[in-house]
């Protein structure tokens, strides 16, 4: 199901992949990886979430491997960061805003596609989250970092994605999903993520943690 | 193939997912992750092994995304650990026993399901092991830990799972697989794991290691 | 499509899996893992790239689980390294040469198989790279190491694989793919990798990195 005209949706997808890929390439530079590492992290960040979704819902070969534009967009992001790394770092705040836009877009399209492949609404919401956040998790795992999605000292990322995806699920149930309403759901996730960044919204940690114990058992887990 | 009545098997599955998910949520607390990290680690630990098996055998969408109970059980485990973390830690020994029960259950159901989807007996045993141990490996990878399955200073986990899965394969070959015999195979894996915990059974490391070399090349690998 | 007679190709595949599996088992010994860890890293290194490719192109169950020889080869590699670890370490240079041969072989067979399953030529090249390099990346992720594929201080590995895979894609387009030409493409990747090892060819890092910044933000990424 195309929510917008096919070509508009395609360009939005490419834009989302591009900004995610930029974040992957930037992490590669910070970790002192070479250009191969930059391209791999860019690809995994931009395409990983959708790839995971497509494998789970049985949409093989995944869109990432059937559309040349998808495959080449991370290459463009890598070239940009390779030559203009300091400038891109300097607009890191703008990158975060674009990343939030990608988050909003992908949690919507991921939910819609999963539902179109026959998943239930709850499972589709999970797939919407996976589409939006999966690439970033894979990026961090490959870079041998604790995924920022899991860290308590990072602004919430999953919550806006789940809210946007759940809004889509409610719209599907109500039979009201169309270009306008799904755009509104994406905007909702986008704005929530921006607010989280602006006001440092963080998710809570378990009650009654004992910090001593936390440190002692660091190596035991 | 349902070994027990469908509803009994379903409840056993949910119980197994629950105890695995608890171990994931506990690791998240020890690593100081937030509630999003707890839920993600709980889900990955509880559902990851079966998800990997289903992708490999072509059972898409995987059971984890078609059965709402599967999807929501890790949420229940996360809520429990979130509010009652110290109490759950205190019964860590009991958690290990339940985890061993999950191990016994999943190595059996994983082997049976893989064989039902047309895999050979040896490949089905590998899938039984992957079902039982895969979630824990994914949990450790996401938490940026060396998987405890690989560590020599951990009691054997894979061996009981392989023994249980191999017992199922032999039963299938002999045409003797039914609710009673498969329950016995699960009990065998369960007891072996408990004995491993009780008597600190560990798997051997390679012969003639040179410890100096091990340390020197730590960073080179 | 079999490029060589089926049995020749099968033996080449097994040889490639074997040398990759040896590198996995060796890393496990260096990381002080037990025999379970050795077998898991050997299996993942030998079979992981092809497994990923088969999941993506929809060839399920993957070849790794339908051919007993594929499944058992990592076991043989583990037994070898378990008993003869110091001797295998001593011929580490020879292991690198065999690994380069595996790289050449798998980038060719991976590209051919992906194209046979309907992927476009560019996507097939990516799958050729994934087949050749994916197992090593999974090995390093499981061992909690930064994947050597990403590190700037390692000789290039991805570039020879991409060149070999791209040569196959050009041969397919020209209708000239056969046993001889595909063997030449594998040899090209093999020789490039050997030259990279001999002359320490490394891939460049991004321009204008600021080393201070790199260190400061190590923990932020």
Give per-residue pLDDT as tens, B79-119.
Answer: 999 999 888 888 888 888 989 999 999 999 999 999 999 99
* B152 inside 8 A of chain C by CB: yes
Asked if B144 is an interface residue toward chain A (Cβ–Cβ < 8 A), one would say: yes
Q: Tell me the pLDDT tens digit for each residue of C153-205.
A: 999 999 999 999 999 999 999 999 999 999 999 999 999 999 999 999 999 99
| Statement: residue C213 has pLDDT above 70 | no
Q: How far apart are CA C174 and CA C185, in angstroms?
A: 14
Please report whether residue B1 resides in a domain.
Answer: no
A218: pLDDT confidence band, cut at 50, 70 and 90? very low
Residue C51 has pLDDT above 90, yes or no: yes
User: Could you tell me if residue A71 is inside a domain?
Assistant: yes
Distance between terminal CA atoms of chain B? Answer: 44
User: What's the distance, CA A137 to chain centroid?
Assistant: 9
Contact A199/B at CB under 8 A: no
Instruction: Work out the average pLDDT over C70-82.
Output: 95
What residue in A sits closest to B70 (Cα-Cα)? A123
Would you call A205 and B29 a contact, using CB atoms and an 8 Å cutoff?
Answer: yes
Instruction: Check: CB of residue A198 under 8 Å from CB of residue B122.
Output: no
Cβ atoms of C77 and C18 closer than 8 Å: yes
Substitution target from B24, B31, B34 for chain A, most A beta carbons within 10 A:
B34
Q: For chain A, which chains pass the contact test of at least 3 CB pairs under 8 Å? A: B, C
Mean per-residue pLDDT, A53-79: 94
With beta carbons under 8 A apart, name residues in chain B contacting C81. Answer: 206
Does residue A127 sit at the B interface (CB-CB below 8 Å)?
yes
Residue A103: pLDDT above 80? yes
Of C85, C67, A160, A48, which is closest to residue B214 (Cα–Cα)? C85
- A208 domain-assigned: no
Mean pLDDT over C68-89 rounds to 93
Residue B143 sits at the vertex; the CA angle it makes with B94 and B110, to the nearest 5 degrees, is 60
Among A205-219, B196-210, C128-142, name the one with the lowest average pLDDT.
A205-219
What's this model's pTM, rounded to 2 decimal places?
A: 0.92
* Per-residue pLDDT, B162: 97
Q: Structural domain of residue C191, as residue ranges?
A: 6-203
**Residue C219 CB partners (closer than 8 Å, separation 6+):** none
Q: Is A109 inside any structural domain? A: yes
Is the pLDDT at C102 greater than 50, yes or no?
yes
pLDDT in the model for residue C2: 57
Q: Is residue B73 part of a domain?
A: yes
Rg (CA), chain C: 18
How high does pLDDT run on average in chain A?
Answer: 90
* Residue B47, C-beta contacts closer than 8 angstroms, at least 6 positions apart: B17, B64, B70, B71, B74, B135
- Within a 10 A sphere around the Cβ of C92, how many other Cβ atoms? 10
Looking at the domain assignment, is residue B137 inside a domain?
yes
Q: Kindly list the residues from chain B whose CB atom is less than 8 angstroms away from the CB atom of residue A56.
A: 51, 55, 60-62, 65
C1 lies in a domain? no
Name chain C contacts of A82, Cβ cutoff 8 Å.
206-207
C205 touches chain A (CB under 8 A): yes
In chain A, % of residues over pLDDT 70: 93
For residue C76 the two structure tokens come to 């043989």
- Residue A91: CB partners within 8 Å, gap ≥ 6? none
* pLDDT score at A8: 81
pLDDT band at A61 (very low <50, low <70, confident <90, very high): very high
In the three-class reduction of DSSP (H, G, I as helix; E, B as strand; rest coil), residue C32 is classed as coil
Q: Is residue B180 part of a domain?
A: yes
Residue B214 has pLDDT above 50, yes or no: no
pLDDT of residue C91: 84
Instruction: State the total domains in chain B.
Output: 1
Q: Which of C28, C34, C56 has the highest number of chain B CBs within 10 A, making it the mutation to test binding with B?
A: C34
Please say whether the beta carbons of A141 and B142 come within 8 A. Answer: yes
How confident is the model at residue B212, as a pLDDT?
A: 43
Q: Which among A37, A60, A89 has the least Cβ separation from residue C151?
A: A37
């Amino acid at each position: 199901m195309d929510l917008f005209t096919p070509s508009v949706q395609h360009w939005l997808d490419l834009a989302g992949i591009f900004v995610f890929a930029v974040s992957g390439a930037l992490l590669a530079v910070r970790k002192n990886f070479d250009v191969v590492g930059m391209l791999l992290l860019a690809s995994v960040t931009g395409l990983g979430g959708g790839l995971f979704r497509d494998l789970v819902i049985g949409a093989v070969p995944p869109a990432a491997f059937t559309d040349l534009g998808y495959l080449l967009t991370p290459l463009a992001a890598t070239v940009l960061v390779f030559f203009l790394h300091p400038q891109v770092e300097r607009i890191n705040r703008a990158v975060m805003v674009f990343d939030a836009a990608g988050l909003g877009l992908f949690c919507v399209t991921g939910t819609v596609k999963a539902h179109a492949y026959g998943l239930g609404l709850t499972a589709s919401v999970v797939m919407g989250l996976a589409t939006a956040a999966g690439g970033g998790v894979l990026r961090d795992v490959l870079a041998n970092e604790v995924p920022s999605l899991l860290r308590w000292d990072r602004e919430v990322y999953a919550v806006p994605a789940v809210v946007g995806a759940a809004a889509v699920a409610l719209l599907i149930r109500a039979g009201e999903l169309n270009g306008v309403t799904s755009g509104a759901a994406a905007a909702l996730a986008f704005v929530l993520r921006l607010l989280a960044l602006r006001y440092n919204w963080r998710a809570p940690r378990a009650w009654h943690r004992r910090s001593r114990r936390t440190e002692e058992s660091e190596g035991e887990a």
